[in-house]
Amino acid sequence: MRAMTTSSNHPPAPPSDPGLTRREAIAVGTVAAAAAVAGAAEPDRAGGGRAPLAVASENGLAAVARAVQRMEAGLAPVEAAVEGVALVEADPEDVTVGYGGLPNSDGVVQLDACCMDGPTMRAGAVAALEGFRHPARVAYEIMRRTTRVLLVGEGAARFATSLGFEAENLLTERARKIWLYWRGQMSAIDDWMATPDLIEDPDVQWFIHEHGAIAPQGTINLCAVNAAGELGGTTTTSGLFFKIPGRVGDSPLIGAGLFVDNEVGAAGSTGRGESVIQIAGAHTIVELMRAGASPRDACLGALDRLVRATRVPYLLDADGRPNFDVKFYAVTKAGEAAAAAIWAGAKYALCRAGEEARLMDCASLYPAPPPWLPRT
Ligand code: GLY
């Protein structure tokens, strides 16, 4: 394996892989080389090379702060990441993760999560888990206590119960009303109606305003690196709103919603999971960084690959661009970090030791999103 190049003083050789697109080739060679020749600072390397550091999706501002605190207290990055996202999993206001997450089409909250430890490359994951608000902690225990990686459905629930995780109803009143509204307005020829009191309900109005009529998905990904350059990460979600029961997205799939390799870095995703799965998104980012790309260019290179893999008409707008969003997040062993989205305007959360957590602009492939694009 090729060693990672982290210094702009030593730009990597251009890639020899003939399968790389121009944008991917730029990602792994030309940009870094140009910056080095000019002696320029690399503005995309938001981590600044100082660790410990944590990066997350926009809903992870408090989570990155907690993850950095936990790493400073001596927790491994993977455990610090899982403890960081626990804040969001427990937050009923976040309808995309854990307790309060929007349910599947049957009105049942099914959660997906994974975690991965860079030094050992061990991983744990759960999919379609019902009744436990901290799926990332359950995934962590699978990683820690078993020789397996992924447990699903009832088996995952039984595993959680065996370890003393408390089962509970995760469907909040707010999420239930939003689901009833969704069911009532799906079709004029089924048996369900969205009554005026439901439509006017403040929680339903909030949902319509924030998420529109199209069913999107939200998630939290958090990647972390400590002062020793050890990496870890986690991704946790309630998945696509009103999904087909049993549907599993990218979040619990190692290599798609998360990938961590202590030789290189960590990466994760939020957004339309099926599209991330199709290109093994997080793994692709780590491999682009292994070849020398900065986190920003690796995220953009993977998004470029994802867009080129999006070929079915129902996923394209009138200009042939994706009618959805995906965001990628990446951090290197040296503490460099960035994120990128298909559409401009997205933010991500970043915290490094000794500093306040803050929101940063994601790089993007395309300018401002069209008004119909759901927030993810
Ligand atoms: N990225 C979350 C999902 O598609 O379920």
Task: Ligand 1 pocket test: pick from 272, 278, 328, 376 the residue with the most ligand atoms within 8 Å of its Cβ.
Answer: 272
How close is the Cα of 357 to the center of ligand 1, in Å? Answer: 25
- Name the pLDDT band for 361 (thresholds 50, 70, 90): very high
Give the pTM. Answer: 0.87
Q: Spot the catalytic one: 96, 219, 270, 310.
A: 219
Alpha helices in 146-201 (DSSP H): 153-162, 173-185, 196-200
Residue 48, pLDDT score: 52
Residue 210, pLDDT score: 81
Catalytic annotation present for 219: yes
| Ligand 1 nearest atom to the CA of residue 257, by list position | 1
Write the CA distances from 192 to 99, 183, 184, 187, 198, integer angstroms: 26, 7, 5, 8, 12
pLDDT at 192 over 70: yes
- Collapsing DSSP states into helix, strand and coil, what is residue 60? helix
Q: Within 6 Å (CB) of ligand 1, which residues are found?
A: 217, 219, 237, 239-240, 249-251, 270-273
Instruction: Report the nearest-CA residue for atom 5 of ligand 1.
Output: 239
- Name the pLDDT band for 211 (thresholds 50, 70, 90): confident
Among 52, 44, 39, residue whose Cα is nearest residue 228: 52
pLDDT at 27 over 70: no
How close is the Cα of 132 to the center of ligand 1, in Å? Answer: 18
Contact 133, 90 (CB under 8 A): yes
Average pLDDT (64-90) is: 98
- Collapsing DSSP states into helix, strand and coil, what is residue 334? coil
Domain ranges of the chain: 22-366
Token pair 């936990």 is found at 70
Instruction: Report the nearest-CA residue for atom 4 of ligand 1.
Output: 273
What is the spatial distance between Cα 49 and Cα 51, in angstroms, rounded to a whole number? 7
130, 219, 49, 72: CA torsion to nearest 10: -40
What CATH fold (topology level) applies to the domain 22-366?
Glutamine Phosphoribosylpyrophosphate, subunit 1, domain 1 (3.60.20)
What is the spatial distance between Cα 205 and Cα 207, in angstroms, rounded to a whole number? 5
Give Cα 252 distance to the centre of its chain.
Answer: 10
Contact 339, 11 (CB under 8 A): no
Give the number of other CB atoms < 10 A from CB of residue 319.
7
Residue 216, pLDDT score: 60
pLDDT at 146 over 80: yes
Q: Residue 191, class by beta-carbon neighbours within 10 Å (0-12 exposed, 13-18 middle, 19+ buried)?
A: exposed
pLDDT at 104 over 80: yes
- Name the pLDDT band for 23 (thresholds 50, 70, 90): low
Residue 173, pLDDT score: 96
- Name the pLDDT band for 44 (thresholds 50, 70, 90): very low
Write the CA distances from 339 to 19, 228, 255, 280, 309, integer angstroms: 24, 22, 17, 17, 20
Contact 124, 149 (CB under 8 A): yes
* Beta-sheet pairing, 231-240 with 111-117: antiparallel
- Name the pLDDT band for 42 (thresholds 50, 70, 90): very low
How close is the Cα of 239 to the center of ligand 1, in Å? Answer: 5
How close is the Cα of 276 to the center of ligand 1, in Å? Answer: 9
